[in-house]
Amino acid sequence: MAGLELKALHKSYGEVEVIKGVDLSVTHGEFVVFVGPSGCGKSTLLRMIAGLEDITGGELWIADKLCNAVEPRDRGIAMVFQNYALYPHMTVYDNVGFGLKLAKTPRDVRDQKIREAAKILQMEHLLERKPSQLSGGQRQRVAIGRAIVRQPEVFLFDEPLSNLDAALRVDMRMELAKLHQDLGATMVYVTHDQVEAMTLADKIVVLNGGVVQQVGAPIELYQRPANLFVAGFIGSPKMNFIGVTVESVVADTITVAGKDLATMAIPADGTGIKPGDTVTLGIRPHDLLNRAGTIVGEVMLVERLGNETNISLKLPSGTSWLVVLDGDHDLKPGGSVDLTFDPARAIIFGSDGVARHPR
Amino acid sequence: MAVMTETGTASAVPLPAMKRRSPYPGWFFLPAAIIYGVLFLLPTVASLYFSLTRWNLFSSTFIGFDNFAQFLREPFLIKGLVNTVIYAVVTSGLKVVLGLLLAVLLTSQIAARGYLRSVVFFPVLVSTVGVGITFTVLMHPTQGMINEGLALLGIKGPGWLVDPNLALFSVALVDVWKGVGLATVIYIAGIVAIPKDYYEAARIDGATSFQNFLYITLPLCRPATVTVIILSFIGGLRTFDLIWAMTRGGPGFASDTVASVIYKQYQAGFYGLSTAGNVVLFILIAVLVVPLTMLLNRREGHE
């Protein structure tokens, strides 16, 4: 049974197309995270699923029901807003029960559901308070409570943690993960924070400019990003890139060299790539090793954290890289450092930006 | 030793200076204090005094509370007091209801919204006396356009301003017509400030337009409601110009308010008496509006 299915979904505001044909299939109980930079269309896409934005083209199926023209309340969804949207003049109890009240649910059933949700979220002691008397985390809980009582097919979260401070965000993230396990419901979650995406998701949808860049499990996106955008977006700190020239292509190995890089054979799919082409090599900061080898750079800045050392590096071509070395390294700005990496850890991107992972 | 001298001088010199505050800032306060004193405090105190005298502008004799006693003994004055309160309640009530409805209409997606907003606000800008004279003509029992219009529909229009039971309410209606634009503008500001999230959350919960209004718009524009009630209630209590332009308190004393009674006393040369009337009006406004404000401003009244 499909929890949620998007088929060639389009959204335009007049001439401006913001969602350019999104296809996505979410199975029941999956936790899906839409991630991307500001303005990539992730919130718009979520609001289209919620029914708060009209669908310009394509089909939206929720629990095997075509929902393009269905009113939000009949779509079997519940949404948690970025600013929680708790009614300030109502108590927590009334806020959580508002939807049930509108649906004319009998008072005793309503009461039971509200208390059930409050129990799940451990906020029974807050029921008589007004939102203004709650902390950010508590408000968040109430907003989730309001979604839970609707018993939706699909939960929709629009950047729910962005208004919380860093420590609370980590706590709430874990609670959300636990909630997902307990309820077993389909959840769609929008965030621009890739750490949230990596930790919460069963499946991440990376969006940019209204187009899906890649869909996959978090670790798959980290290890096998489909293109330069995903490679740069997923993973913290960001992946390092340099332009290199192809020297030879042999079966599943591309040998490259450049101003910043001594000749190196990288395992990659060489289809369509020929010697002389300029390609991009990507390597994650954590994958660089402090050994004499292929790269020499000038140390610009050093952050010694004890367990690891962050180095801001300037390569001969002027490209800036970030290097994270295990353990403590007493390096001084202005000095130079020799680095190398395991060729299997590097990724070659063609001139079209598409990754050439070895087959 | 050095330390002792140092602390000694340090505490000896600045402390008295700190205790005796410098008069310098006072000079900045003075101009405003003089203007306020001469134009506001002095007249207030003087009017309190003159309300206790028999006064003909050139000489005054102290007569204690005789003016108040006389003022309150006058039957038309009691009528005026009752009328004033009725007028204030009717006008502010109608302005709240109509202002809110118009504001809801003018914040929804309708054609020519900006134009309609200015149409609603326009009467606020027109001279009250002009409005009064115009409506007096329109409300003429036989030749007025309103009754002529009603006659076309086969309805015999009432004597808007000549029927003693109706005159006050006719003027109140004109006041509402003229003043509802301001209430609407205040409500529009209040409604526009309500975050869209609330309506979206309610939409997902399946709220109808009426439920949106009842559970979101109405409670969340409460500050606007308080402002509209207080402003229009005070305005209603001290109303004079429209009454005077339309009925001069008539027919008889049917539409007299405290302010028009006071004006008539001034015209008749009873300055002490009418000043006492002003004090009564001041007390009336204070007694009604202060508790009302406190009631309305109670923090987040129960829904």
Chain A interface includes B303 (CB < 8 A): yes
**Is residue B10 pLDDT above 50, yes or no?**
no
**Are β-strands A288-289 and A278-283 bridged in parallel, bridged antiparallel, or unpaired?**
unpaired
Residue A72 to residue A160: CA distance in whole angstroms: 19
Chain A interface includes B209 (CB < 8 A): no
**Residue B206 · residue A71 · CB < 8 Å:** yes
The residue among A43, A62, A84, A87 with the most chain B CBs within 10 A of its CB, best to mutate, is: A87
Residue A124 to residue B267: CA distance in whole angstroms: 69
pLDDT at residue B9 in the model: 44
First to last CA, chain B: 70
Residue A280 to residue A299: CA distance in whole angstroms: 22
- Chain A: closest CA distance from residue B189 (Å): 18
Residue B90 to residue B170: CA distance in whole angstroms: 11
Q: How far is CA B138 from CA A127, A163, B149, B179, in A?
A: 58, 59, 10, 18
Give the pLDDT band of residue B18 (cuts 50, 70, 90).
low
Cβ-Cβ contacts under 8 Å, A89 against chain B: 219-220, 222, 300, 303
A85, B201: Cβ pair inside 8 Å? Answer: yes
Residues 6+ apart with CB under 8 A from A23: A6, A7, A8, A9, A212
Overall average pLDDT of the A152-173 stretch:
88
Chain A interface includes B284 (CB < 8 A): no
Nearest-by-CA chain A residue for B217: A87
A52, B200: Cβ pair inside 8 Å? Answer: yes
The mean pLDDT of chain A is: 90
Task: Locate the domains of chain A by residue range.
Answer: 2-233, 240-349
Beta strand extents in A36-93 (DSSP E only)? 57-62, 65-66, 77-80
ipTM: 0.81
pLDDT (tens digit, 9 = 90+) per residue, B88-116? 999 999 999 999 999 999 988 888 888 99
**Residue A234 · residue A206 · CB < 8 Å:** yes
Task: Locate the domains of chain B by residue range.
Answer: 68-296
SS3 A250: strand
Overall average pLDDT of the B236-240 stretch:
87
A99, B206: Cβ pair inside 8 Å? Answer: yes
Chain A interface includes B215 (CB < 8 A): yes
Residue A319 to residue A282: CA distance in whole angstroms: 13
**Is residue B303 pLDDT above 80, yes or no?**
no
Q: Is the dihedral of CA A70, A74, A78, A79 positive or negative?
A: positive
The residue among A46, A77, A81 with the most chain B CBs within 10 A of its CB, best to mutate, is: A81
B197, A83: Cβ pair inside 8 Å? Answer: yes
pLDDT at residue B19 in the model: 62
Residues 6+ apart with CB under 8 A from A57: A8, A9, A10, A11, A21
Neighbours of A313 (CB within 10 A): 25
Give the pLDDT band of residue B16 (cuts 50, 70, 90).
low
pLDDT (tens digit, 9 = 90+) per residue, B243-297? 888 888 778 788 888 888 888 888 887 887 888 888 888 888 888 888 888 888 8
Nearest-by-CA chain B residue for A47: B200
**Residue A50 · residue A156 · CB < 8 Å:** yes
- Chain A: closest CA distance from residue B226 (Å): 15
Bigger pLDDT: B139 or A217?
A: A217
Overall average pLDDT of the A113-141 stretch:
89
Both tokens of B105, joined, read: 């209409």
Cβ-Cβ contacts under 8 Å, B195 against chain A: 83, 85
pLDDT (tens digit, 9 = 90+) per residue, B113-148? 889 998 989 998 989 899 999 988 888 888 888 888
- Spatial strand order of the sheet with A203-208 comes to A77-80, A154-158, A186-191, A31-35, A203-208, A211-216
Q: May I ask the CATH architecture of the domain A2-233?
A: 3-Layer(aba) Sandwich (3.40)
Q: Do domains A2-233 and A240-349 have the same CATH topology?
A: no
Chain A interface includes B269 (CB < 8 A): no
Give the pLDDT band of residue B67 (cuts 50, 70, 90).
confident
pLDDT at residue B174 in the model: 92
pLDDT at residue B295 in the model: 85
B201, A51: Cβ pair inside 8 Å? Answer: no
Chain A interface includes B149 (CB < 8 A): no
**Residue B273 · residue B159 · CB < 8 Å:** no
Nearest-by-Cβ selection for B204 from A78, A88, A132: A78
Neighbours of A5 (CB within 10 A): 19
B206, A78: Cβ pair inside 8 Å? Answer: no
pLDDT at residue B301 in the model: 46
pLDDT at residue A2 in the model: 53
pLDDT (tens digit, 9 = 90+) per residue, B179-214? 999 999 999 999 999 998 899 999 998 888 899 999
CATH code for the domain defined by B68-296: 1.10.3720.10
**Are β-strands A336-341 and B60-62 bridged in parallel, bridged antiparallel, or unpaired?**
unpaired
Overall average pLDDT of the A112-122 stretch:
89
Both tokens of A290, joined, read: 């402090």
Dihedrals phi, psi of A237, to nearest 5 degrees: -65, 165
For chain A, which residues lie within 8 Å of any Cβ of chain B, measuring from their own Cβ? Answer: 50-52, 71-74, 77-79, 81-85, 87-90, 94, 98-99, 102-103, 130, 132, 146, 150
- Chain A: closest CA distance from residue B190 (Å): 15
pLDDT at residue B238 in the model: 84
Chain A interface includes B146 (CB < 8 A): no
Largest Cα–Cα distance of chain B, in whole Å? 107
Give the pLDDT band of residue A183 (cuts 50, 70, 90).
confident
pLDDT (tens digit, 9 = 90+) per residue, A34-68? 999 888 889 999 999 999 999 998 999 998 889 88
Task: Tell me, letter by letter, the H, E, C secondary structure of chain B.
Answer: CHHHHHHHHHHHCHHHHHHCCCCHHHHHHHHHHHHHHHHHHHHHHHHHHHCCEEECCCCEEECCCHHHHHHHHCHHHHHHHHHHHHHHHHHHHHHHHHHHHHHHHHHCCCCCHHHHHHHHHHHHHCCHHHHHHHHHHHCCCCCCHHHHHHHHCCCCCCCCCCCCCCHHHHHHHHHHHHHHHHHHHHHHHHHHCCCHHHHHHHHHCCCCHHHHHHHHHHHHCHHHHHHHHHHHHHHHHCCCHHHHHHCCCCCCCCCCCHHHHHHHHHHCCCHHHHHHHHHHHHHHHHHHHHHHHHHHCCCCCCC
Q: Which CATH class is domain A240-349?
A: mainly beta
Nearest-by-CA chain B residue for A51: B204
Residue B161 to residue B283: CA distance in whole angstroms: 29
Give the pLDDT band of residue B53 (cuts 50, 70, 90).
confident
Nearest-by-CA chain A residue for B210: A102
Cβ-Cβ contacts under 8 Å, A72 against chain B: 203-204, 206
pLDDT (tens digit, 9 = 90+) per residue, A304-315? 999 999 999 999
Neighbours of B79 (CB within 10 A): 18
Q: How many contacts, defined by CB atoms under 8 Å, are there between A and B?
A: 64
